[in-house]
Structure 1
Amino acid sequence: MTPTLSPNTQAILLLTAPLIAGRGTSSSELLTPGEYKRLARHLREIQHQPADLVSPDAADLMRACQPVIDEARLQRLLGRGFLLSQVIERWQARAIWVVSRADAEYPRRLKARLREDAPAVIYGCGDMGLLESGGLAVVGSRHVDDSLIDYTMAVGRLAARAGRTLVSGGAKGIDQAAMRGALEAGGKVSGVLADSLEKTTMNREHRNLLLDGQLVLISPYDPSAGFNVGNAMQRNKLIYALADASLVVSSDLNKGGTWAGAIEQLDKLKFVPVYVRSTGESSSGIDALRGKGAIPWPNPQDADAFEGVFDVAAPTPVVSPQTGLALFPGNGPSDMASTPPAAPEVLPAIEAPTETAQPLVSASTAEPIEPVPDGAPSTTQAPVDMAEGASLIATSVATPADTLFATVRGVIQVLLKTPMKDAEVALALEVSGAQAKAWLQRLVDEGVIEKQKKPAGYIVKQSSLFE
Structure 2
Amino acid sequence: MIVPTWRDDDAPISRGPACRPRRPASRRLLVQPGRPRHRRLRRATGDPDHHRRAAPAGRSGSHARLEDHDRSHRASAQRGPGLSDPAAPRPGRPLCPGARRATDSDRRRRNTPHPRLRPHHRLRAAEEPPTLPPAPRAGRLDRLTMPPLDDHAVCMLRIALTPGLGPVRAARCIEAFGSPADLFSASPAALQRIQGIGSVLAPRIAAGLAASRDLADRQRESAARLGATIIARGGADYPPLLAELEDAPLVLFCRGRLSADSDDRYPVGIVGSRVCTLYGLEQSARFAGALARAGLTVVSGGARGIDTSAHRGALDAGGRTIVVMGCGLAHTYPPENVDLFEQIVADDRGAVISELPIETPAVAENFPGRNRIISGLSLGVLLIEAGARSGALITARIAAEEQGREVMALPGRVDSQASRGALELIRDGGAAPVIEPGDVIHTLENAARHHFQGTHEARFAPSPQGLFHADPPAPVGLSPLQQRIVALLTEPASADQISTRLGLEPAALRTELTVLELTRRIERVGGLFQAACGK
Superposition TM-score tier, normalisation by shorter sequence: 0.5 to 0.7
Q: CA deviation at 1:42?
A: 1.8
**What letter is aligned with 2:440?**
V
- Percent of aligned pairs sharing the same letter: 23
- State the match for 1:157 in structure 2: 289
CA distance in 2, matches of 1:72, 1:194: 26
Residue 239, structure 1, aligned to residue 370, structure 2: no
- Name the residue aligned to 2:425: 289
Shift of the alpha carbon at 1:164? Answer: 1.9
Match of 2:225 in 1: 93
Matched, 1:116 2:246: yes
Contact 1:271 1:314 in 2 (8 A): no
**Aligned-partner Cα distance in 1 for 2:186–2:432:** 58
Q: How does 1:6-405 map to 2 (within 5 A)?
A: 6-17=150-161, 29-44=163-178, 49-53=179-183, 59=185, 64-68=190-194, 70-71=202-203, 73-112=205-244, 115-130=245-260, 132-200=264-332, 203-253=338-388, 255-278=389-412, 282=416, 283-295=419-431, 297-300=433-436, 306-312=437-443
Name the SS of the counterpart of 1:11 in structure 2: helix
Report the Cα distance in structure 2 between the residues aligned to 1:104 and 1:130, rounded to whole angstroms.
10
Identify the range of structure 1 (193-202 vs 33-42) with the bigger mean alpha-carbon deviation.
193-202
Shift of residue 281, structure 1, vs aligned partner: 6.0
Alpha-carbon offset, residue 430 of structure 1: 5.2
Deviation at 1:177, TM superposition (A): 0.8
The CA deviation at 1:189 is 0.4
**Cα distance per residue 1:296-354 (max 9 Å; x no partner):** 54332xxxxx34423226999xxxxxxxxxxxxxxxxxxxxxxxxxxxxxxxxxxxxxx
In structure 1, how many angstroms separate the alpha carbons of the residues matched to 2:205 and 2:431? 49
Distance 2:325 2:432 in 1: 27
**What is the aligned partner in structure 1 of residue 482 from structure 2?**
none
Contact preservation (8 Å) 1:134, 1:165: yes
Q: Which has the higher contact order (CA 8 A, sep 6+)?
A: 1
Residue 221 of structure 1, CA deviation: 1.5
1-structure distance, mates of 2:431, 2:252: 31
Contact 2:300 2:324 in 1 (8 A): yes
What whole-Å deviation, never above 9, does each CA across 1:102-124 have from its counterpart, x for those lacking one? 32322111112xx3321122211
Paired amino acid for 1:266: A
Give the conservation status (yes or no) of the 8 Å contact 1:136–1:167.
Answer: yes
**Aligned partners of 1:60, 1:429: CA distance in 2, in Å?**
31
Aligned to 2:148: 4
Please give the root-mean-square deviation of Cα atoms over the aligned residues, in Å.
Answer: 3.8
Local SS of the residue matching 1:98: strand
Question: Cα distance 1:313–1:217, how it changes in 2: closer, same or farther (>3 A)?
Answer: closer
- 1:396-441, Cα deviation, whole Å (9 max, x unpaired): xxxxxxxxxxxxxxxxxxxxxxxx85542355785449xxxx9999
What is the alpha-carbon distance in structure 2 between the residues aligned to residue 246 and residue 137 of structure 1?
4
Question: Using the alignment, how far apart are the partners of 1:214 and 1:440 within structure 2?
Answer: 37
Cα drift, residue 71 of structure 1:
4.6
1:182 is displaced (CA, Å) by: 1.0
The 2-side partners of 1:231 and 1:222 are apart by 11
The 1:244–1:442 alpha-carbon spacing in structure 2 relative to 1, beyond 3 Å, is closer
- Name the CA distance, whole Å, in 1 between partners of 2:345 and 2:443: 31
Equivalent position of 2:453 in the other structure: 425
Contact residue 272 and residue 315 of structure 1 kept, 8 A: no
Give the secondary structure class of the aligned counterpart of 1:119: coil
> Secondary structure of 2:246's match?
helix
Q: Does the residue aligned with 2:322 lie in a helix, a strand or coil?
A: strand
Deviations, residues 196-233 of structure 1 (Å, cap 9, x unaligned): 42334994553343143212121121222223334322
Contact 2:298-2:322 at 8 Å conserved across structures:
yes
Give the structure-1-normalised TM-score. 0.58
Contact (CA 8 Å) 2:390, 2:421: kept in 1 or not?
no
**Whole-angstrom CA distance in 2 between matches of 1:294 and 1:223:** 35
Equivalent residue letter for 2:355: P
CA apart distance, 1:257: 1.8
Distance 1:140 1:62 in 2: 44
Contact in 1 for aligned 2:271/2:307 (Cα 8 Å):
yes
Partners of 1:147 and 1:91 lie apart in 2 by 39
Distance 1:64 1:440, change over 3 A: farther
Residue segments in structure 1 that go unaligned for 5+ positions in a row: 19-28, 301-305, 317-419, 444-467
Q: Determine the C-alpha separation between the residues in 2 that align with 1:152 and 1:280.
A: 18
Cα gap change, 1:285/1:299 in structure 2, threshold over 3 Å: closer, same or farther?
Answer: same
The 2-side partners of 1:439 and 1:297 are apart by 16
- Report the Cα offset of residue 289 of structure 1: 0.4
AA aligned to 2:392 is T
Q: Tell me which amino acid in the other structure corresponds to 2:408.
A: V
Q: Does the 8 Å contact 1:98/1:123 carry over to 2?
A: yes
Listed as ranges, the gaps of 5+ residues in structure 2 are 1-144, 195-200, 462-505, 512-535
Contact between 1:263 and 1:289, CA under 8 Å: does it hold in 2? Answer: no
Partner letter of residue 248 of structure 2? A
Size of the alignment, in residue pairs?
A: 313
**In 2: Cα distance, 1:140 partner to 1:276 partner:** 10
Partner Cα separation in structure 2 for residue 187 and residue 313 of structure 1: 18
Asked if 2 retains the 8 angstrom alpha-carbon contact of 1:266 and 1:292, the reply is no
